[in-house]
Structure 1
Amino acid sequence: SSSSSSSLPIHPPTSLAALKNLRHVHIIARRGPIQAACTVKELKELLTECGVTPHLNRDDFVLSPTDYAEVAAARQKKRLLEVFTSALGKEEEGEKDNEKEKEKEKENMRGKRNLYFHFYRSPVEIVRDINGDIKSLDTEVMTLRPSAKNPRQQEAVGTGTREHVPCQLVLVSIGYKGVPIPGAPFDDFTGTVPNENGRVKVAAAAAAQEEE
């Protein structure tokens, strides 16, 4: 492998090599598809160029009025939704009504790389067996509500309902939150510089200068 001649210790390359045999990957997301923090290009590549079969839940795409407002306010969110729904439609078209065909497809799926999206789920606990090996991930079902600080945005709230996802490996990717830069405008709620499609908002910048 390309890492065999690097300065990496032996364990990471061995673990990475084992990932080639993965057939089922589950993505756990606290919020919904509208709030997915990725680019359209990244999502398209993941769903169409990585050799995976995506699995989506239609119930996750029942949008609230606030979801629709988010989509209307950001072109990227609209395009992300289009990519997701296109993948969902293709998955449903491929479903078989005949039980024998379903069994045959299930057999074929064992050799495929399957990618499952679990929206509105928050990791709660990694469950291990008596040997200390990971056997499942406990999650809490979440719901979204308009934020008290910013009604145009939504925050995830736990419902108390638990679900279990069987697994043998857990990778954490929780993102990051920005910190203020002296003299620059900053939104404490979002942890970002107020912007319009990446361009710093003039009014916010002027207010930050006045505060200095």
Structure 2
Amino acid sequence: MAIMQARAWLSRRLSTVSSNPLRVCVVGSGPAGFYTAEKMLKAHQEAEVDIVDRMPTPFGLVRFGVAPDHPETKNVINQFWRVAQNERCSFFGNVALGSGISLSELRDLYHVVVLAYGAETDRNLGIPGEDLKGIYSARQFVRWYNGHPDERYLDPDLKSTGTAVILGQGNVALDVARILLRPTEELMTTDIASHALAALEESSIRKVYLVGRRGPAQAACTAKELREILGICDLDVNIKENDILLTPADEEELKSSRIKRRVYELLSKAATSKPVNAGLNQRELHFVFFRKPDSFLESEDRTGYLSGVRLEKTVLKGLDSGKQIAVGSGEYEDIKCGLAFKSIGYKSIPVDGLPFDHQRGVVPNSRGRVLSDASGDPAQLEEGLYVCGWLKRGPSGIIATNMYCAEETVLSISEDLNKGVLASSSTSPKPGREGLQQILSDRNVRIVSFSDWEKIDAEEERRGSEKDKPREKLTTWEELLKTALE
């Protein structure tokens, strides 16, 4: 009898699920988007989740941000793949929020809209000469060597100069330095874009400067990334021994952070140990501490081109929080270079109808719930609208950080459903997936489904197998869409 009752309940439940699902749309198919989708599907068996992305390829920064020589970091794609193949999940690639579909339309179509589209632009330094040729953001360069179609034709000139300056000392800055300095034979069997590998094989870059405003005790990279670049074969690493001297304030900072202590220890060891081949190697990496960019210098021979970076020496000033900030000293020095990369952070951009805190570069929110303004007043909730990832907390953290971020946002959604703050599927049916498909069809938007993406994936792997690579990425919009939709 109990079994029959259970079956009858399950039948009614499945009938409710199929006829009146909770319609959820996640905008962005990077880690934040996929973790959100995964946790929504698990927490709400009646949920139907659609993932929308402007790219025809899923996985966001895992595909276009993780360095090609870090294949283990990309293994999370296997987990995301399983999410996309869930019968209650659909992928809508090649659909741009703003031009393909508006935020207000998505909110009309779905009970829940979660924005997880990350940070699409770069922060600017706002210093003279920033528009000179030869200056790139680290984001552009990373996308270029990772085969992002928006940067396919970036074409950085790696042949006309022997020196590159990277402003910043975080993990992305170290990625850029490592790709510039690593022997290309070590990159040949990775999924690096072919156009980038060809350019790197002809590169004249032999000297790279990594510039930081503060000292080694405040370096923003992780020990794993630092250890890897310090371990490059036949590379001279230069760190001034005076720069690694600690002040009492530095020691206090290091006490509270095991990660920073480990980074400092690695830098200190690199500064004081002299390898057998020191000074004989072809490539050099210079860590420059206590310097901030003042201006970019224009070449006297080539109008409009970079010839160097002017740096201002800094001193550290303590704050009440125990942290130290870099303050200019009024002393300057120049580094001659023909190439410079700004690795000073990414910046999110708003869309029409989305509250946005322009100062912080995030959407005002309370544990993922979007607020009408930046005042932080929890009474100003935007019903059914949520954020996750960099839009929510700013461009920080590693891939796994997005998992915890998604957990918090999905918990807020669940709480709002339970409290009746959010319109439920039973009281307010929404068109969801079918409505989105109809609008996009009316606008002649060519949707790339997950099965379409699998065609791209298969073709990339086929091409890669011919070159002993895991994949040979398709790097233009034309190639991607043709392969997906033909």
The reply to whether TM is greater than 0.5 is yes
* Structure 1: runs of 5 or more not aligned: 96-104, 186-190, 193-197, 201-212
Aligned to 2:93: none
Q: Which of 66, 70, 77 does residue 260 from structure 2 map onto?
A: 77
Q: Which of 242, 254, 257 does residue 59 from structure 1 map onto?
A: 242
TM-superposed CA distance for 1:27, in Å, is 1.0
State the alpha-carbon separation in 2 of the partners of residues 31 and 144 from structure 1. Answer: 7
Residue 115 in structure 1 maps to residue 298 in structure 2 = no
Q: Percent identity?
A: 30
Judge conservation of contact 2:314–2:327 (CA < 8 Å) in 1.
yes
State the alpha-carbon separation in 2 of the partners of residues 183 and 65 from structure 1. Answer: 37
Q: Which of 129, 152, 164 does residue 334 from structure 2 map onto?
A: 164
State the alpha-carbon separation in 2 of the partners of residues 25 and 45 from structure 1. Answer: 16
TM-superposed CA distance for 1:11, in Å, is 5.2
Q: Call closer, same or farther: CA 1:125–1:147 in 2, change over 3 Å.
A: same
Judge conservation of contact 2:212–2:288 (CA < 8 Å) in 1.
yes
TM-superposed CA distance for 1:51, in Å, is 4.7
Q: Call closer, same or farther: CA 1:13–1:60 in 2, change over 3 Å.
A: closer
Query: For each residue in 1:61-95, what CA deviation from the matched residue of structure 2 results, as whole angstroms up to 9, or x when unmatched?
Result: 1111111011111111111111111111223x659
Judge conservation of contact 2:211–2:288 (CA < 8 Å) in 1.
yes
TM-superposed CA distance for 1:13, in Å, is 7.2
Q: Call closer, same or farther: CA 1:67–1:14 in 2, change over 3 Å.
A: closer
Structure 1 consecutive aligned stretches of length 4 or more whose deviation exceeds 4 Å: 5-11, 13-16
Q: Call closer, same or farther: CA 1:181–1:13 in 2, change over 3 Å.
A: same
Judge conservation of contact 2:313–2:330 (CA < 8 Å) in 1.
yes
1:62-141 pair list within 5 angstroms: 62-91=245-274, 108-109=280-281, 112-130=282-300, 131-132=302-303, 133-141=305-313
Q: TM-score, normalised by structure 1?
A: 0.69
State the alpha-carbon separation in 2 of the partners of residues 14 and 164 from structure 1. Answer: 21
State the alpha-carbon separation in 1 of the partners of residues 156 and 208 from structure 2. Answer: 19
Q: Call closer, same or farther: CA 1:11–1:146 in 2, change over 3 Å.
A: closer
State the alpha-carbon separation in 2 of the partners of residues 174 and 85 from structure 1. Answer: 24
Query: For each residue in 1:14-35, what CA deviation from the matched residue of structure 2 results, as whole angstroms up to 9, or x when unmatched?
Result: 7551573211111111111111
Residue 147 in structure 1 maps to residue 319 in structure 2 = yes
Q: Call closer, same or farther: CA 1:161–1:75 in 2, change over 3 Å.
A: same
State the alpha-carbon separation in 2 of the partners of residues 28 and 65 from structure 1. Answer: 23
State the alpha-carbon separation in 2 of the partners of residues 166 and 14 from structure 1. Answer: 16
Judge conservation of contact 2:241–2:272 (CA < 8 Å) in 1.
no
Instruction: Give the counterpart letter for 2:232 in structure 1.
Output: E
State the alpha-carbon separation in 1 of the partners of residues 212 and 313 from structure 2. Answer: 10
Aligned to 1:20: 203
Give the number of equivalent residue pairs: 173
Judge conservation of contact 2:313–2:328 (CA < 8 Å) in 1.
yes
Structure index of larger Rg: 2
State the alpha-carbon separation in 2 of the partners of residues 160 and 122 from structure 1. Answer: 11
TM-superposed CA distance for 1:113, in Å, is 1.1
State the alpha-carbon separation in 1 of the partners of residues 154 and 208 from structure 2. Answer: 21
Residue 38 in structure 1 maps to residue 208 in structure 2 = no
Q: TM-score, normalised by structure 2?
A: 0.32
State the alpha-carbon separation in 1 of the partners of residues 291 and 344 from structure 2. Answer: 13
TM-superposed CA distance for 1:183, in Å, is 2.1
State the alpha-carbon separation in 2 of the partners of residues 6 and 139 from structure 1. Answer: 32
What is the alpha-carbon root mean square deviation over aligned residues? 3.2
State the alpha-carbon separation in 2 of the partners of residues 10 and 124 from structure 1. Answer: 29
TM-superposed CA distance for 1:134, in Å, is 1.7
State the alpha-carbon separation in 1 of the partners of residues 233 and 290 from structure 2. Answer: 24
State the alpha-carbon separation in 2 of the partners of residues 68 and 6 from structure 1. Answer: 42
TM-superposed CA distance for 1:125, in Å, is 0.8
Q: Call closer, same or farther: CA 1:169–1:43 in 2, change over 3 Å.
A: same
TM-superposed CA distance for 1:184, in Å, is 3.5
Judge conservation of contact 2:212–2:289 (CA < 8 Å) in 1.
yes
TM-superposed CA distance for 1:175, in Å, is 2.3
State the alpha-carbon separation in 2 of the partners of residues 89 and 14 from structure 1. Answer: 34
Instruction: Give the counterpart letter for 2:331 in structure 1.
Output: T
* Structure 2: runs of 5 or more not aligned: 1-144, 159-195, 347-359, 369-392, 395-400, 406-486
Q: Call closer, same or farther: CA 1:180–1:143 in 2, change over 3 Å.
A: farther
Query: For each residue in 1:95-135, what CA deviation from the matched residue of structure 2 results, as whole angstroms up to 9, or x when unmatched?
Result: 9xxxxxxxxx75x34xx110011100001111112322322
Instruction: Give the counterpart letter for 2:155 in structure 1.
Output: P
- State the secondary structure of the residue aligned to 1:12: coil
Q: Call closer, same or farther: CA 1:13–1:156 in 2, change over 3 Å.
A: closer
State the alpha-carbon separation in 1 of the partners of residues 259 and 152 from structure 2. Answer: 40
- State the secondary structure of the residue aligned to 1:138: strand
